[in-house]
Amino acid sequence: MTSIFNSRLSRRTLVQGSLAAGVALALGGPAFAADLPLITKPIPKTGEKLPVVGLGTNAYSVTAPEEIAARKEVLQHFPQLGAKLVDTARAYGESEVVIGKLVKELGNRDKLFIATKTLMRGDIKPGNGELEETFARLQVDKIDLLQIHNFNALDELFPRLQEWKQAGKVRYIGVTTSMNDQYPLLINALKTLPLDFIQVDYSIDNRGAGETILPLAQEKGAAVLINMPFGGRREGNVLPKVSGKPLPAWAADIDVTSWPQLLLKYNISHPAVTAVIPGTTKLAHLKDNQLAARGRLPDAAMRRKIEELWATI
């Protein structure tokens, strides 16, 4: 409990403190970052462009009215800030159900790119049962991206995903992991399956996927979503490590006004990465994250500078 509290406290401190002059912009209304262009990247298989900062929803399985209201506020403002990609999963408790209900109430389904995942473990329903349950939970009749979660029932499910895509019920298909010991499975899937997307963990403090998986995904023409962009399972959330530390002056050269923005732009600037999906439940965090989707990105030299900086933290 202590580590979770410290993580939340650190993020709140970062947003309130290190934003400095940028905080007014981050918390603005219609003029939100109007002078900074939105960054999008193409999905390799189709050329469809996605804004580079999406929304992770592992913490959307809530019932308290105030928590529901906070998540509804995030989903309402999300497309207004230029964002599209909402990533969820059956394994996230009732997150799919909450998102489906709130999106229906908001009436903004057409402005979102909704990605979800099949069961992470256990038996799967026969025939179209998995897809039908996903449709019912999200209250939709088409999924933008359906992913096999942690390779559960891959051999059985992937042919079904291909059929659902062919039938127009699913637009894109892929596989996901956030565990190093599943990297060999991911590499094999990239080499043997017609994947539109992969999803994998990657951050400034967790760069293992950058050695083989990200280059291979780029070679195979698979879009890449980054989960856990603020730290991996072993490393933990990296934001507490920079809490209270000043941003380097050169961060302004890539239009960065907070540590979360710097860390997200490091991820986004990798040439194989299509989008990042930081977990977000508060409007202030959403707006801060979305500033990372605007302006300039680090080039190779700036990426090295960020890595060198991180080695001193």
**Distances from the Cα of 300 to the Cα of 27, 43, 89, 247, angstroms:** 30, 22, 34, 19
| Predicted local confidence at residue 18, as pLDDT | 45
Q: Three-state DSSP class for 114? A: strand
pLDDT at 28: 52
Distance CA 196, CA 222 (A): 5
pLDDT of residue 12: 53
Q: Which helix (H) or strand (E) holds 37?
A: none
pLDDT (0 to 100) of residue 235 = 74
| 2-310 placed in CATH 3.50.50.60 | no
Helices 213-220 and 183-192 cross at an angle (nearest 10°) of: 10
The tokens 């933008």 sit on which residue? Answer: 144
Query: Under a CB-based contact definition with an 8 Å cutoff, are residues 135 and 96 in contact?
Result: no
Instruction: Report the alpha-carbon distance of residue 8 to residue 18 in Å, rounded.
Output: 15
Cα distances (angstroms) measured from residue 84 to each of 42, 68, 115, 119, 288: 13, 20, 10, 24, 16
Instruction: Provide the pLDDT for residue 259.
Output: 97
Give the position of tokens 């892929």. 174
Intervals of the chain under pLDDT 50? 1-9, 16-27, 29-31
Cα separation, 172 vs 68, in Å, equals: 29
Domain ranges of the chain: 2-310
Predicted TM-score (pTM) of the model is 0.90
CB atoms within 10 A of CB 252: 13
List the structure tokens of 52.
Answer: 């580079």
Instruction: Give the β-pairing of 223-227 and 275-276.
Output: parallel
Residue with tokens 């996901």: 176
Q: What is the pLDDT, as a whole number, of residue 25? A: 45
Contacts of residue 114, defined as CB under 8 A and 6 or more positions apart, other chains included, come to 86, 88, 99, 103, 138, 140, 143, 144, 145
Q: How far is residue 264's CA from residue 257's CA, in Å, rounded to a whole number?
A: 12
Per-residue tokens: 28: 């603005």
With tokens 């010991």, the residue in question is 181
DSSP string across 46-61: T--EEESB-EE-TT--
**For the chain, what's the residue count?**
313
* Contact partners, residue 151, CB within 8 Å, separation at least 6: 175, 177, 182, 185, 186, 189
Task: Label residues 18-34 b or e (16+ Cβ within 10 Å = b).
Answer: bbeebbebbeeeeebbe
Query: How far apart are alpha carbons 306 and 171 in whole angstroms?
Result: 36
Find residue 148's DSSP bridge partners: 175
Q: Is there a contact between 204 and 179 (Cβ–Cβ < 8 Å)?
A: no
